Amino acid sequence: MNQKLTEQIVIHILSNLGVLPSTFIDQDKTKSVMDKKFLLPEKLTFETVDGEILRKNIYGCQISVTDTKEFKMLLADCTQEKDAPEYSLVIQLKGAPAFGVYLIFNQLIPQDLPDEALIGVNTDKAHWIPCSTYLQATFLAGMEQLRDLGFGWTKCVSYQELHSQLLSFIKFHRNFFEVSDEG
């Protein structure tokens, strides 16, 4: 897996969704997934190294791509350090595997810290695996097509299963990089 390529794909996806700043996106015309109209009542809870409890927002939106197919996404703000925003995004087309992306956006700080970018797929609703470069490219192409179609997003409903997958993907990301750091 090419870590720099993964990082650029995740940055591109999050920029297209209005989450990250970008020179190639017109922020005035791009509606952000982090809009308050997509804010869900659930919160993520993190404990910092200082013992502080953080409650972070989760946003959810969906679109119908056919009469029977819905495309849903949940975005979690996982930021624990003010200068290094962290985001986790889980996306699923009804009846298809879920994909997850995670990024620690370190481009705002002068230190060279790892971005820990990850793109994963979950085919059985229980286990995540990192995507190969081919799957990452396929996922990126799908996200580009979705953006080009320009459907109107609505607030997510009936998203409990996807919420569970979001939480498991965040845990998968943490475990993946803890193991990678040790090995």
Domain ranges of the chain: 3-182
Residue 42, both tokens: 């659930």
Q: Is residue 162 within 8 Å of residue 74, measured between CB atoms? A: yes
* Calpha distance 20→7 (Å, rounded): 13
Residue 157, both tokens: 């409903």
pLDDT value, residue 65: 78
Which range (2-6, 84-88, 120-124, 149-153) has the least confidence?
149-153
* pLDDT, tens digit, 9 for 90 and up, residues 9-25: 999 999 888 888 766 66
For the chain, counts of helices (H) and of strands (E): 3, 8
Q: 169 φ, ψ to 5°?
A: -70, -40
* Calpha distance 26→16 (Å, rounded): 9
- The arithmetic mean of pLDDT across residues 122-127, rounded, is 86
Closest to 12 in 3D by CA, of 3, 23, 28: 23
pLDDT value, residue 112: 64
* Calpha distance 109→173 (Å, rounded): 22
Using DSSP, state whether 97 is helix, strand or coil: coil
Residue 180, both tokens: 């990678």
Helices (H), ranges, 1-69: 3-16
% the chain with pLDDT above 70:
85
CB atoms < 10 A from the CB of 7, how many? 21
Q: Is residue 119 within 8 Å of residue 91, measured between CB atoms? A: no
Measure CA of the first residue to CA of the last residue in the chain; give whole Å: 16
* pLDDT, tens digit, 9 for 90 and up, residues 69-80: 889 999 999 988
Query: pLDDT tier at 119 (50, 70, 90 boundaries)?
Result: very high
pLDDT value, residue 183: 47
Radius of gyration of the CA atoms of the chain, in A: 16
